[in-house]
Amino acid sequence: GQQVMQIPQYQHVQEGEDFTTYCNSSTTLSNIQWYKQRPGGHPVFLIQLVKSGEVKKQKRLTFQFGEAKKNSSLHITATQTTDVGTYFCAGRGTNAGKSTFGDGTTLTVKP
Amino acid sequence: GAGVSQSPRYKVAKRGQDVALRCDPISGHVSLFWYQQALGQGPEFLTYFQNEAQLDKSGLPSDRFFAERPEGSVSTLKIQRTQQEDSAVYLCASKTGVASGYTFGSGTRLTVV
């Protein structure tokens, strides 16, 4: 079945440094979504990418979808302590109703 | 309602006990999903409904797991004869359509002792 892998598993940064997490799927995706989960909380939807090569920005966050629609990345510029949490990607295969989540990248930010 | 509501928030069950977890999705959301999240891992798909129809139950770990959504709104996930490996957070999510993002509930943390 479809597998979604994320790296790195953990990332520790100093406040103000940049952060990137990468997501790779074993199969071509129809879309990819990104979620943020704060400690003790539930995943919260951030964004969805659909088109090959698509790039979307939300303030300091930049999301990219690969040309082959099998990989994606999330980049945060100048991290803040409010960015702490686990970032998950979730890929939906073609002809699939469900999305498959990666195991996430947990970001900690040292003030 | 304004969000996805799940109950109970926490459940402690003795091994062998049956449990029922409830999910009340956002009004009007056609699609409803159940995911299981173990500590330190991403949510793992269990099953999903479109209205009252269960379209995919391929993620249910065994025949001890059963889900229903009889009237196309509230859903119940039932686990029979619970075992320790069933301990996890059970997340319910709803969405307006296939192409939209999930809105998750706060989850039910199940601990089997």
Q: Which of B26, B98, B109 to mutate to test the interface with A (most CBs of A within 10 A)?
A: B98
Q: How many residues does chain A have?
A: 111
pLDDT at A95: 77
Q: What pLDDT is attached to residue A2?
A: 83
Contact yes or no for B42 and A102 at CB 8 A: yes
Q: What pLDDT is stored for residue B96 in this prediction? A: 84
For residue B1, is pLDDT > 70?
no
**Nearest-5° Cα angle at B29, B23 to B30:** 100
Contact A44 B43 (CB under 8 A): no
Q: Which of A4, A45, A43, A48 is nearest to A22 (CA)?
A: A4
CB contact under 8 A, B43 and A88: yes
Q: Measured in whole angstroms, how far is the alpha carbon of residue B95 from the centre of its chain?
A: 14
- Give B92's strand partners: B34
Give the pLDDT confidence of A54-76 residue by residue, as tens digits: 999 999 999 999 999 999 999 99
DSSP A38-81: -TTS--EEEEEE-STT-EEEETTEEEEE-TTSSEEEEEESS--G
Spatial CA neighbour of A57 closest among A88, A34, A41, A37: A34
pLDDT of B98 reads 64
Residue B16 has pLDDT above 90, yes or no: yes
- Average confidence score pLDDT of chain A: 96
Radius of gyration of the CA atoms of chain B, in A: 13
Look up tokens 């889900």; give the residue: B67
pLDDT for residue B97: 74
* Backbone torsions φ then ψ of A110, nearest 5 degrees: -90, 125
The full length of chain B comes to 113
pLDDT band at B100 (very low <50, low <70, confident <90, very high): confident
Amino acid identity at B46: L
Asked whether the beta carbons of A60 and A77 are under 8 A apart, the reply is yes
Structure tokens at B69: 């959504």
Cβ contacts of B33 on chain A, cutoff 8 Å: 98
Tens of pLDDT along B40-81?
999 999 999 999 999 999 999 999 999 999 999 999 999 999
d(CA B111, CA A111): 35
Cβ contact (<8 Å) for A33 and B101? Answer: yes
Task: Quote the minimal CA–CA distance from A46 to chain B in Å.
Answer: 8
Q: Is B44 within 8 Å of A31 when comparing Cβ atoms?
A: no
Q: Is the pLDDT reported for residue B103 higher than 80? A: yes
**Chains A & B: contacts with CB separation below 8 Å:** 57
pLDDT in tens, B17-41: 999 999 999 998 999 999 999 999 9
What is the pLDDT at residue A94?
84
Q: Give the sheet arrangement for strand B19-24, strand by strand.
A: B5-7, B19-24, B75-79, B65-68
Q: Residue A86: pLDDT above 90? A: yes
